[in-house]
Amino acid sequence: MTKPRHRPLSRRLAVGALSAAALALLTGWAPATLWSAKVTVSPIGAHIIGNPAAKVRLVEYFSYTCNHCGDFAKAAAAPLKTQYIDKGLVAVEYRNLIRDPFDLTAALLARCGTAQAFPGNHQAIFAAQSAWLTRIEESTKAQQARWSEGGIGERMRRIAADTGLTALMQKRGYDAARIDACIDSEVAQAEVIGMTNIAHNTDKVRGTPSFFINGVDTGVHDWPSLKTRLDLAINGS
């Protein structure tokens, strides 16, 4: 009895892909847009991730040296992306509220590269937060002195090197010259400080993380509570 012949796997995959393409042409079906890939920059320099026409605009004020912000990033990153941003239901605007020189250093490094690089930089810095905050807590008096001497760029370069933020950004593909340029950017410095001023003087933010949904302060600071507010806003309540 002749055994059935099986086509090579690569050929079968190609045929499957062709069939999917043909199906798309015949039915009009196409893969859903993943809106988390859409990153724009607002007039004040904040990064906006998601569908520009989303019914719900979420503004998050955050600080990289805020432990509660780190906890929120850990809890919310995946569900916020897959359940809300990717589906085009929510666009998230990330605004800095700078608390200290370490926070400013991290904020400037997060803005390295194109707008599309921000989400990855942002998550990486928060993912490593406990490690680099520990280095700050365990710093020597000599290091602390280095962090307060010289110009602002010099100070932040030393902070980045001593805390491990420089090494983190190098692993993400940024060389020393690029890292220095990000820290020295007067435009980026002005944008980050400007957002902080808006937080304090206009939006009356007193702590981080703080969240505004369609311009209204939610008064909540954790993911489960914010999720409830998002669902209400999406459903029109």
CATH number at residue 87: 3.40.30.10
In terms of residue numbers, what domain contains 229? 35-234
Residue range 30-49: average pLDDT?
Answer: 89
Identify whether 12 is part of a domain. no
The reply to whether 77 falls in a domain is yes
Q: Is residue 202 part of a domain?
A: yes
Measured between its terminal Cα atoms, the distance across the chain in Å is: 68
pLDDT tens-digit map of 158-203: 999 999 999 999 999 999 999 999 999 999 999 999 999 999 999 9
- For the segment 19-39, the average pLDDT, to the nearest whole number, is 61
Q: Tell whether 11 is covered by a domain.
A: no
Q: Is residue 10 in some structural domain?
A: no
The answer as to whether 5 is a domain residue is no
Q: Is the pLDDT of residue 11 over 70?
A: no
Residue 2 lies in a domain: no
CA 151, distance to chain mean position in Å, is 28
96 lies in a domain?
A: yes
Q: State pLDDT tens for residues 159-170.
A: 999 999 999 999
- State the alpha helices, DSSP H only, in 116-164: 118-127, 129-137, 141-146, 152-163
- Residue 131 pLDDT > 90: yes
Q: How many domains does the chain have?
A: 1
The single-letter code of the amino acid at 156 is: M
Residue 13 — left, alpha, or beta (φ > 0 → left; ψ -120 to 50 → alpha)?
alpha
